[in-house]
Amino acid sequence: MSLEHHQIKSSFDKAAKQYEEHAVLQKEAMSRLIERVQFDLKKAPKQILDLGCGTGWATKALLEIYPESQIIAADFAESMVNAVPVHPQVTPRVTDAHCLDVHASSLDLVFSNMMIQWCDQQTALTEIKRALKPTGFLHLTSMGEHTLHELKSAWATIDDLPHVNDFMPAAELADLTLRMGYEDVIADSEFITLTYANVVDLMRDLKAIGAHNTDHNRSKGLTSPKVIKQLEAAYQEFRTEDGLYPATYELLYLRALKPADDKGLNLKIKP
Ligand SMILES: C[S@@+](CC[C@H](N)C(=O)[O-])C[C@H]1O[C@@H](n2cnc3c(N)ncnc32)[C@H](O)[C@@H]1O
C-alpha cells in the first residue's frame, strides 16, 4: 500500500464517528444514485456489493428497496465497517477496492457512492468487473473535475501548492470504463452547491468526512489565521447574495454493464 493510500485509509478510519453528521453531500448523492438504480434495474438484484460503504446508510437504503437481496457492505476502513448496522442479510467486510475479497462473477449490482475518486480507478474498475456477474450492473458516483473550484481558485491566489484534489473528468472516466471492457457506459454530472458561514467551517467539514487533499505535494502544516484571512478575501467574488461561502461539487454518475460474454480488457494494442 502506498503512503498516500495508507493516509486515505487512516483519515477515513478516524472520520467514522463524526462522518454522518458532516456528510451532507454524500447522503444527497446516495439518495440520487439509489433513484437512478431503481429506475435502471428491471429486476431486483440478488447479490449486491455496497463498495466503500462508509457507515452503511446506502446499505440500509438498498435493503429498503430490495428487501430480498443479500448485501456485502465493504470498506477498507475498519471503523467504518464496524458502524454498519447489523442485519441478517448484510455481510460487513473490511476489504480494499484495489484487491476485492469477493468471489469472481458473484454480484448482480455494485453500488458505490463517492468512493472511486480515492482509488486507482483503473484497478478498482477491473476488480469490480471481476466480481460482477456477466450482465451485472455498476452504478457509482464520484467527484468531477470542477469540484470545489471556488476553494481551488482562492488557494491559487496564495500559493502554487495543490490544496484541492484533482478529479477525473466525466468523459475520461467513461472512456476508461469502456477500455476496461464494460459496455452500455453512461457518465454524466450535475452541480450541487453547499454554503457555509465562513471558509473555516467549509474546511472543517472536508476534514470531518475524511476528504482531505491527499496529494503528496500538499502543504502539511495547519492553516494559519493569516492564511485563513487571505483565503476569505480571495473568496469574496464567490460569496452568495446572503453573504455565504459556496462550495460547489460536481457530482459525477457512472453506469456500466459487464458484458454477457466478457472478454477482459478492451485495450487496443498497436502492432
Ligand atoms: C466519502 S466516503 C463515502 C461513504 C459511503 N459510500 C457514503 O455514501 O456515505 C468514501 C468511503 O470509501 C472508502 N474507501 C476509500 N478508498 C477505498 C478503497 N480503496 N477500498 C475500500 N474502501 C475505500 C472510505 O473508507 C470511505 O468510507
List of domains in the chain: 3-145+166-192+248-257 (3.40.50.150)
Query: Is 96's C-beta closer than 6 angstroms to any atom of ligand 1?
Result: yes
What pLDDT shows up at residue 204?
A: 83
110: which DSSP letter? E
Query: Is 253's C-beta closer than 6 angstroms to any atom of ligand 1?
Result: no
Where the chain has pLDDT below 70, the residues are: 1-3, 208-222, 264-271
What pLDDT shows up at residue 227?
A: 85
Kindly state the helix (H) or strand (E) to which residue 120 belongs, with its residue range: none
Query: Is 118's C-beta closer than 6 angstroms to any atom of ligand 1?
Result: yes
Which of 172, 158, 150, 181 shows the shortest CA–CA distance to 246?
A: 150
Query: Is 205's C-beta closer than 6 angstroms to any atom of ligand 1?
Result: no
Longest dimension (CA), the chain: 60
Nearest-CA residue for atom 23 of ligand 1 = 52
Q: Look over the chain and give the mean of its residue pLDDT values, rounded to a whole number.
A: 90
Query: Is 252's C-beta closer than 6 angstroms to any atom of ligand 1?
Result: no
Q: Which residue of 10, 75, 94, 143 sits with most ligand 1 atoms within 8 Å of its CB, as the best mutation to test the pocket?
A: 75
What pLDDT shows up at residue 268?
A: 55
What pLDDT shows up at residue 210?
A: 56
What pLDDT shows up at residue 184?
A: 98
Please answer whether residues 129 and 258 qualify as being in contact, where contact means their C-beta atoms are separated by less than 8 angstroms: yes
Name residue, grid cell 495547519.
222
One DSSP character per residue, 213-259 reads ---TTS--SPPPHHHHHHHHHHHGGG--TTS-EEEEEEEEEEEEE--
Which three cell numbers, joined as nine digits, stand for 23? 456528510
Rounded-to-integer distance, Cα 74 and Cα 103, Å? 13
Nearest-CA residue for atom 4 of ligand 1 = 54
Query: Is 84's C-beta closer than 6 angstroms to any atom of ligand 1?
Result: no
What pLDDT shows up at residue 206?
A: 74
Which of 101, 97, 4 shows the shortest CA–CA distance to 51?
A: 97
Query: Per residue in 168-182, pLDDT tens?
Result: 999 999 999 999 999
Which three cell numbers, joined as nine digits, stand for 152? 481551488
Which of 230, 86, 65 shows the shortest CA–CA distance to 163?
A: 230
